[in-house]
Structure 1
Amino acid sequence: MWHILKYVARRGQVAEPPPEPAASSAQPAHAIHDEILAILGRALTIREVDAGSCNGCELEINALNNPYYNIEGLGIRFVASPRHADMLLVTGPVTRNMAVALRRTYDATPAPKLVVAVGECACTGGIFGESYASCGRVSNVIPVDVTIPGCPPPPADILAGILAAVRARGSSVTA
């Protein structure tokens, strides 16, 4: 035990420096919240659907809820029911067994609804493609508004994709 403590005392704190603040292009949280409220008139509610993924994208989506990204503070909330959702966030290639459930979830989401495909598998079918067990990309089953490529995409890219979908909806409402 003493040799470990001596080693730690000699070596000092071993850690990497904290990350630099994001570039100035990042919007402050209140600006994002105000933009969401201006477009939707209320908070954005999301139903996340795993259509057959490896859970890599789900880990990155869950990271959006940590204090660093704090999407709750931006007025973005995850809900358990598609009937309360404004947006579907779909991950993974759509397996044949999940195709009907995904269509039902899409149909249960009230209009106007947004669909965001998250990850390479949801966007293109990934390494699974179309086969006897997989329908492939999400757009083969339901219409998709925004795709976020990556395996898995980082949380910042997911947040940017969510905001792009909201902005696209806002421009179509005002046009």
Structure 2
Amino acid sequence: MTHQQNFNDGWRKVATALHNKNDRSTAILGAAFLEAHMGQLLNNFFVQECQDEKILLSADSPLGRLKTRTQMAYCLGLISKMEYHDLTLIAQIQRLFAEQLYGAAFTDDGIREKCFQLRIPREVQLPGETRIPRQLFVFSTAILTQHLAWRTAQAAKERREIPETLLLIDIDR
């Protein structure tokens, strides 16, 4: 499979993986997919010689969660405002499902409202298409997976490099 096929099929794989899951599994797994992609995005932007990437990106580290990875990627200019907005909402939705062991659903008021605030579906879906909270979540997750795969490839091309040592005095004088 070519690199381009991976980009083209990424969203389908996510949508398929989430299709037959219950609401709680869909929310937690969908956000986990995005969290992994965000980790790879940041890792591809870090300097090649960085030995601390595993420490920074491990689950219990400062950049271990979707929320903080999203904040960092946005501050570094690696994702757009719309991606930041929707990734932040998805992290909040994930948290709501994770906090409730039983009974949480995409039809719950707070979760439903957050799903309707997702911007990506509004940009891509046709006006007459049905907008069901779960479908909005899955659609946004799939599209973001696709965007992040592309952004990850771009970040690798823009990988940071360690700057030369700064000398405070001019020794040639």
Alignment TM-score, normalising by the size of structure 1: 0.28
TM-score normalized by the length of structure 2: 0.28
Greater RCO, CA 8 A, separation 6+:
2
Could you say which structure has the higher strand fraction? 1
Larger radius of gyration: 1
